[in-house]
Structure 1
Amino acid sequence: MSDDFEGLRAVVTGGASGIGLATASELAARGARVAVLDLSPDVSPPLTGVRCDVSNDTEVVAAVATAATTLGGIDIVVNNAGIGAQGDVTANDDTEWHRVLDVNVLGMARVTRAALPYLRASTSAAVVNTCSIAAWQGLPNRVLYSASKGAVLAMTLAMATDHLDDGIRINCVCPGTADTPWVGRLLDSATDPAAERAALAARQPMGRLVTADEVAKAIAYLASPLSSSTTGTALAVDGGMYGLRPRPRS
């Protein structure tokens, strides 16, 4: 499997850090040519950085076209760019709701829409969306974020159906709490960062945070031509949080 992406061209949004960077690096290590679309695309070869704000359609269209020209086409799109939100339903005003949904949901729609002509021309076309365990678990104080990721899950399934005849496979990963810079910033803002980290780890049955590399490998599995019969799938990478109900540890 070390060369299953040989000759393929991939675009990864939000690919300059965290899960996105781990994914871009994984695909490149397995033979893909990779363009990273990011607000701050400071990446090193063999990755190619392209500045892109996924909330701006004009910028998305231009960035995807630049990536396609640079790579010689696009076979794989990983829609990973996203932002977080905290609090219950009263915590965020309409402006923040619009901002988060614009990035987390519409951003994926914009990038996929712009990439469709290139994906239709590929014989190994795949889209993988970064969703979240929040799409199907009632997490505390994550109403807005959960709503955005629930929309990503529904959108993934609908797009997978729409593009069956195009030969484009569309799937998503649903990570649990991952040990990324974004989560690190949330922990730093907590009253007791160590206690908060312990609580986040404990709510996942395996008792630890998910790593960015683990999510990246799941994304690579879904994007790989070796998974050519897999579409419309939501793959949990959450330490068992979705399906397991172990007894509390003593």
Structure 2
Amino acid sequence: MDERGPIEPPPTPWELPSREHLGDLGGDHDLVAMGADLAPGTLLAAYRRGLFPMPEQARPRLRVRGAAPTVGWWCPAQRGVLRLDGLKVSRSLRRSTRDFEVRVNTAFDEVVAACGDPTRTGAWIDSGIQKAYGDLHRLGWAHSVEAWQEGVLAGGLYGVAIGGLFAGESMFHRVRDASKVALVGLVDLITDVHAADRLIDVQWSTPHLDSLGVEEIPRSDYLARLPALLDVPLPEVFAAGTAGA
């Protein structure tokens, strides 16, 4: 990343589904495409269309021993999103924020690796994902928000920032409330004069995220809002440079 902002990579050679096509999809299927690659240009093209990647294991009867998972492209029928003014911070969480220092982009690779810890339930972030987002980070598009305690990384999250959209990918904690504090920190950092036009995409809602103010909106609503989101100026905290890259 340079002083002018994120660096645009070469465009993807893959033909990805358009927002219009995705908006017309019926049913409750979240997985909408397979294949392609995880090059920076492909990832950015996907996010700009409302897609995000997650490895999809091949069916057991077709699986080759040692073969890498196939990339799946997802666009949930019900999208989990967080409006900045919708964040719910309990009294206990507000107290917890005093116990951590929030930093941005000082330990990106460590955050992604922690999110990809194979001992975590449902772990899906493999070495290919880690490399892909590391490449995107060094171009200025992917960012980490970290919660530090006494000089030790206690938790954090990472995602992709394009205009007014922050597409959250994953979060982790080693100390209670650390990942929640990172989320509170993210909202604080990107709350500016354009706050009403910004959105955090968390992909799917969970009871844990529900308690923080995440809501679900239909796929068509998310896709309809996406073009305006992408036109919003990038938050200053992400436009100023990529520390620790």
More helix as a share of residues: 1
Same fold at TM > 0.5: no
Q: Normalising by structure 2, report the TM-score.
A: 0.28
Structure with the larger strand share: 2
More relative contact order, 1 or 2 (CA 8 Å, 6+ apart) = 2
TM-score (normalised: structure 1): 0.28
